[in-house]
């Protein structure tokens, strides 16, 4: 019994090994035919290969092909792949003729088919081309992938246009996509084709009709040789047959054909050496603009600073330069916007980052100039753009710690020196020597020896707590939202106790938060407008109502007195509402 199971297991393993082997074989449609008939030969493989080399076909005339067919199917949860090259042959003489070996390279190994023998007899009265309709369909139907550039730079746009060429001798009723092309190592975006249009053109010097099926923009993300896999279609083709109806008109036969565009190899060049320090991968033609919504304002008010890159190139695939500001200007995380359209020339438009800035002190503050570098495809060189330094004038508010050098109107007074300014310095000292025992064996010695060992469990415990905190995604999100809320409400907290200033700063903080999150101006902040925007963003009704209620409290507090407890409650409510709102946005 054990021997039986052992033999069965061996046979199963052997069959699995055989199934996993690469298969490359040749087949013919007929082994015997007349000299006035045609023969089809197929070279089929179960793994995709490179450098297919057909035999010379001496003693035959190639009247059709090579035609490529690719099919993928799933059988019992396992993917089955098949790729076939087909040729149609017309024999040149009678006798036993040999079709030689074909070669292909799969995984750096060369595979060959076995030679095939066919018998060619004298001409027959009624030639039978068993696959004549299929041959006509394949000879008159071609799917072509046209690539705009075969050797682009890294991150340079190239286009792939798939065209289906159809000869006037046949017609196509419909088609469906069997296998979409895969663009590994490319950033890709398809261009919508609103309506398919039939146009006249040429294929191999003959008149054809063609239709553009698909357009795709590719940006290579790696250098070296990259592969664009083929598009595969199943097409219903109406082919004229040898039969005619009672009126003498030719009867058409519908044949389902699978066609595929050939693999395309793209050789991507690396960008040249000498990249600027601030280069982040931009390739194309760009302009840099840095602007602010206002240059003068009061402390506690806000402004927007916008960094914008505009032009033609890989707009979505590089980083914008980051804005910096003095510490007296509170600057919040930027909001990124993309206004990009894509056509056959690549991505065009602009990307920007808008920073919300709130000054806390009076004075004049410079925003440093920015630089941005890109690779210009037209000249093949790197170019650097520089913005101008911006000056923000804060007209009223608390004075900064370092006064501007231009404040010369302050009165100066002479300080009288009475001779006692050094009275704290002792000129006569009474020092006594300190005698100590030997350090070795002392309490300090044992403490220095034992304390580091005792601290090890504390460090381990601290590390585990830190790891738990880092893995607590939900808790970190809540803490981040609370921190953001308190950051916006810091000015209101400083004014607790002063009713007028507290509610003014509370309302201003809530408005600044909405500016940063929804990119709207103060003039647009009616309660109805805010309510509508928050609903569009998916904020729940309770949080929305709480935010509107807080704004109403700020308005009422201008005309009615409020206690310190009420202000504290409104402050805590604002922290909670902004924290919840930030998590939902």
How much is the mean pLDDT over the chain?
A: 80
- Asked whether residue 406 is domain-assigned, the answer is no
Could you tell me if 262 and 298 lie in one domain? no
pLDDT of 8 over the 70 cut:
no
pLDDT confidence of residue 411 = 43
Residue 40: which domain range?
A: 20-123
Could you tell me if 229 and 144 lie in one domain? yes
Phi-psi region of 135 (alpha: psi -120 to 50; beta: other; left: phi over 0): alpha
Average pLDDT over residues 378-383: 94
| Cα 579 versus chain centre, distance | 30
The CATH number of whichever domain residue 383 belongs to comes to: 2.60.40
pLDDT confidence of residue 402 = 46
pLDDT confidence of residue 379 = 94
| Residue 117: burial class (beta carbons within 10 Å; 0-12, 13-18, 19+) | exposed
Percent of the chain surpassing pLDDT 70: 77
- When pLDDT is cut at 50, 70 and 90, the band that residue 464 belongs to is confident
pLDDT confidence of residue 414 = 47
The CATH number of whichever domain residue 497 belongs to comes to: 1.20.120
pLDDT of 315 over the 90 cut:
yes
Rounded CA gap, 25 and 27, in Å? Answer: 7
Instruction: Report yes or no: 350 and 315 within 8 Å, Cβ to Cβ.
Output: yes
Average pLDDT over residues 565-573: 80
Could you tell me if 262 and 147 lie in one domain? yes
Which of the two residues, 535 and 358, has the higher pLDDT score?
A: 358
pLDDT confidence of residue 533 = 79
Query: 388-423: per-residue pLDDT in tens?
Result: 999 999 988 776 554 443 333 334 444 455 555 555
- Asked whether residue 151 is domain-assigned, the answer is yes
Q: SS3 of 28, please?
A: strand
Could you give the number of structural domains in the chain? 4
- When pLDDT is cut at 50, 70 and 90, the band that residue 371 belongs to is very high
- Beta pairing partners, 141: 166
Average pLDDT over residues 511-530: 69
pLDDT confidence of residue 247 = 66
Of 130-144, 272-286, 360-374, 434-448, least confident by mean pLDDT is: 434-448
Could you tell me if 47 and 89 lie in one domain? yes
Could you tell me if 262 and 146 lie in one domain? yes
Could you tell me if 229 and 294 lie in one domain? no
Could you tell me if 145 and 62 lie in one domain? no
Rounded CA gap, 314 and 188, in Å? Answer: 11
- As a whole number of angstroms, the longest Cα–Cα distance in the chain is 138
Could you tell me if 118 and 151 lie in one domain? no
Phi, psi at 24, each rounded to 5°: -140, 110
Of 35-49, 161-175, 377-391, 480-494, least confident by mean pLDDT is: 480-494
């Amino acid at each position: 019994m054990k021997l039986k199971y052992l033999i069965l297991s061996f046979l199963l393993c052997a069959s699995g090994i055989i199934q996993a082997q690469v298969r490359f074989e040749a087949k013919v449609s007929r082994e015997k035919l007349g000299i006035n008939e045609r023969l089809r030969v197929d070279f089929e493989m179960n793994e995709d290969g490179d450098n297919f080399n057909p035999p010379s076909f001496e003693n035959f005339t190639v009247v059709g092909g090579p035609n490529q067919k690719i099919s993928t199917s799933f059988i019992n949860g396992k993917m089955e792949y098949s790729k076939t090259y087909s040729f149609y042959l017309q024999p040149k003489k009678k006798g036993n003729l040999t079709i030689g070996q074909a070669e292909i390279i799969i995984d750096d190994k060369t595979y060959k088919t076995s030679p095939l023998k066919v018998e060619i007899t004298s001409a027959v009265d009624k030639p039978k081309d068993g696959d004549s309709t299929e041959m006509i369909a394949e000879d008159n139907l071609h799917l072509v992938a046209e690539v705009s550039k075969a050797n682009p730079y890294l991150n340079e746009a190239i286009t792939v246009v798939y065209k289906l060429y159809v000869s006037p001798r046949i017609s196509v009723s419909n088609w469906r996509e069997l296998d979409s092309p895969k663009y590994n190592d490319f950033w890709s975006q398809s261009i919508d084709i609103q309506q398919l249009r039939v146009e006249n053109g040429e294929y191999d010097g003959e008149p054809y009709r063609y239709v553009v099926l698909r357009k795709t923009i590719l940006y290579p993300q790696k250098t070296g040789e990259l592969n664009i896999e083929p598009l595969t279609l199943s097409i219903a083709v109406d082919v004229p047959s040898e039969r005619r109806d009672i009126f003498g008109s030719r009867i058409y036969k519908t044949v389902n054909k699978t066609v595929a565009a050939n693999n395309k190899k793209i050789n991507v060049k690396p960008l040249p050496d000498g990249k600027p320090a601030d280069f982040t991968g931009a390739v194309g033609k760009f302009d840099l603009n840095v602007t602010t919504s206002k240059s003068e304002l009061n402390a506690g008010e806000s402004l927007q600073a916008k960094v914008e890159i505009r032009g033609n190139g890989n707009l979505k695939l590089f980083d914008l330069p980051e804005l910096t500001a003095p510490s007296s200007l509170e600057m919040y995380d930027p909001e990124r916007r993309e206004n990009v359209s894509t056509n056959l020339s690549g991505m065009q438009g602009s990307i920007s980052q808008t920073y919300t800035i709130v000054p806390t002190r009076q004075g004049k503050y410079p925003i440093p100039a920015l630089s941005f570098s890109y690779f210009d495809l037209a000249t093949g060189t790197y170019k650097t753009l520089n913005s101008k330094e911006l000056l923000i004038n804060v007209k009223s508010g608390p004075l900064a710690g370092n006064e501007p050098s231009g404040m010369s109107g302050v009165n100066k007074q002479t300080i009288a020196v009475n001779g006692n300014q050094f009275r704290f310095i002792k000129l006569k000292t009474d020092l006594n020597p300190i005698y100590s025992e030997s350090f070795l064996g002392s309490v300090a010695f044992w403490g220095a020896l034992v304390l580091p060992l005792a601290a090890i469990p504390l460090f381990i415990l601290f590390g585990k707590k830190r790891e738990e905190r880092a893995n607590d995604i939900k808790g970190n999100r809540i803490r981040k939202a609370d921190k953001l809320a308190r950051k916006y409400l810091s000015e209101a907290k400083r004014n607790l106790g002063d009713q007028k200033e507290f509610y003014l700063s509370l309302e201003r903080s809530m408005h600044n938060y909405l500016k940063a999150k929804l990119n709207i101006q103060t003039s647009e902040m009616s309660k109805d407008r805010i309510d509508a925007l928050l609903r569009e963003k998916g904020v729940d009704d309770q949080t929305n109502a709480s935010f509107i209620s807080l704004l109403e409290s700020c308005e009422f507090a201008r005309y009615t007195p409020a206690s310190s407890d009420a202000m504290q409650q409104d402050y805590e409510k604002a922290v909670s509402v902004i924290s919840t709102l930030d998590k939902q946005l």
